[in-house]
Structure 1
């Protein structure tokens, strides 16, 4: 990630960071939760598995990086970007203006657990989410509330994410998620129980020969068309910035953080 010269003025506790090949910029708090490679890989995967430009919804949008990449770099959307935390939402709103994405990304302040009151049933052809990875009881909770809510399932869990996606998706629509590899069985079980049938799976590996650390899954509402296992996604290699060529091609300049 890198800060760019811009007439946009960041607050003292904020950074203005760039990502992707289309000039996406994101406002982030220095001490808060900051996006990492998972967001970029999720946006690319969702675009690959949902090749048509359909109305899209991001659950837990944070500073907006996935929504911005979907709209600008991958030509998807329009995207409604749902975020729970008011301060994070405010940065998301500023990011829409900064990236001139008015009309293509619409920020929504709200709780995904209340999706039934926030969104019409079946309104979206694509749902994406880079949700909190750790159960509420796992590990040490961050003393920073913003980081804690973004990293641990304090405000929502995987079941709530799946339920919100199920409500929002039109029949045949798809949801793309990224989770730790250790939670694959749990997440697949939740998806299938909600009749969101896994259609595509891609495991993310730091290096060739290393165990998978993450997985990407795309599931279809009410359509069980069988699971396709995509080639492994290798993060690090001989490409620019020390990334494998496929990953390096997704961002310019390279990210400072990785899976």
Structure 2
């Protein structure tokens, strides 16, 4: 289609359909895919999957897992479905078109080991709002806010299941409070900085459903070591040569 582009991820290992003018993947997705703790043969769901970037990355990083990608925007879900087929992973990645606010009617309760999500973290009327509807929904809390994402996660997660997400650093206190209120105990946290010495822009958080208290704060993740030059860690992630997280969640057995 003329309004679409076919792009590559992790040094050409994956291909992805995207709108030329709509929402396109960012580095956030790659960082989250490498942060989440995933074990062999687990069932994973991506809430708010967009064009399927994270689902595809996880299918590459964890070849034994099964992934469900839930996306409310029909056009993006269609692109995700076609990208999954193009990459030959349709047997392991299922795309579901639907609203996560209706998760109870779309996904079975307590059916997943882990949830990943890159939710919109701008309030509906904050900042510059794109005239492009696809970008509006992906960036602003228009079709679901933080509590909606967490409610869906609690519904689908098994006991001691894990939720990993990337969020705005300036809303970190709100995020951590909302996680605990939902019964999702924060266990791992990593701040993301553009440059060493800069204030954090993002935070990566992993929480456990019904987990014990106690959080591990990982060393900061610095994106750039110089202008337009990625740090060694991020360069390895972008190139597809970095290994996924092998972290052990503190204080949780299994």
Fold in common (TM above 0.5)? yes
Find out whether 1:242 has 2:229 as its counterpart: yes
Matches within 5 A, 1:218-237: 218-237=206-225
Separation in structure 2 between the aligned mates of residue 225 and residue 71 of structure 1, nearest angstrom: 31
SS at match of 2:7: strand
Kept in 1, the 8 Å contact 2:40–2:62? The answer is: no
User: Does the C-alpha gap of structure 1 residues 129 and 76 become closer, same or farther in structure 2, counting only changes over 3 Å?
Assistant: farther
Aligned counterpart, 2:246:
none
1:232 positional shift: 0.3
Residue 21 of structure 1 and its aligned partner are, at CA, apart by 5.1
What is the CA–CA distance in structure 2 between the aligned matches of 1:198 and 1:73, rounded to whole Å?
24
If the length of structure 2 is used for normalisation, what is the TM-score? 0.91
> Matched residue pairs, number?
240
Quick check: 1:91 aligned with 2:79? yes
User: Equivalent residue for 2:51?
Assistant: 63
1:54 aligns with one of 36, 42, 66: 42
1:202 pairs with 2:194: no
Question: What residue ranges of structure 1 are gaps of 5+ in the alignment?
Answer: 1-10, 254-259
* TM-score of the aligned structures, taking structure 1 as reference length: 0.89
Cα-to-partner distance string for 1:83-114 (whole Å, 9 max, x where unaligned):
10111111011001111011111000000001
> Structure 1 residues 245 and 74, CA, compared in 2 at 3 Å: closer, same or farther?
farther
CA drift of 1:13 comes to 1.1
- Which residue is equivalent to 1:100? 88
- 1:22 deviates by 6.9
Indicate whether 1:131 and 2:131 are aligned. Answer: no
What secondary structure sits across from 2:211 in the alignment? coil
Q: For residue 115 of structure 1, what is the aligned residue in structure 2?
A: 103
The runs of at least 4 consecutive aligned structure 1 residues that moved more than 6 Å come to none
Any unmatched runs of 5+ in structure 2? 241-254
Q: What is the CA-CA distance between 1:75 and the residue it aligns to?
A: 3.2
Q: Does 1:151 align with 2:139?
A: yes
Q: Which residue of 1 aligns with 2:22?
A: 32
Q: Distance in 2 between matches of 1:182 and 1:80?
A: 30
Q: Contact 1:202/1:217 (CA < 8 Å) preserved in 2? A: yes
The structural deviation recorded for 1:24 is: 1.2
Separation (CA, whole Å) in 1 of partners of 2:191 and 2:63:
24
Are 2:28 and 1:41 aligned?
Answer: no
Q: Which region of structure 1 is more displaced relative to structure 2, 70-79 or 174-183?
A: 70-79
Most deviating of 75-84 and 30-39? 75-84
Residues 1:184 and 2:167 aligned together: no
Q: 3-state SS of the aligned residue for 1:235?
A: strand
Aligned partners of 1:26 and 1:133: how far apart in 2?
24
User: How far apart, in 2, do the equivalents of 1:76 and 1:129 lie?
Assistant: 20
SS of residue paired to 1:42: helix
Q: Which residue of 2 aligns with 1:164?
A: 152
1:210 alignment partner, SS class: coil
Distance across 2 between alignment mates of 1:128 and 1:61: 9
Equivalent residues of 1:21, 1:250 under 8 A apart: no
**Distance (Å, rounded) in 2 between the aligned partners of 1:137 and 1:72:** 37
Report the 3-state secondary structure (helix = DSSP H, G, I; strand = E; otherwise coil) of the residue aligned with 1:102: coil
- Counterpart-to-counterpart distance in 2, 1:22 and 1:145: 29
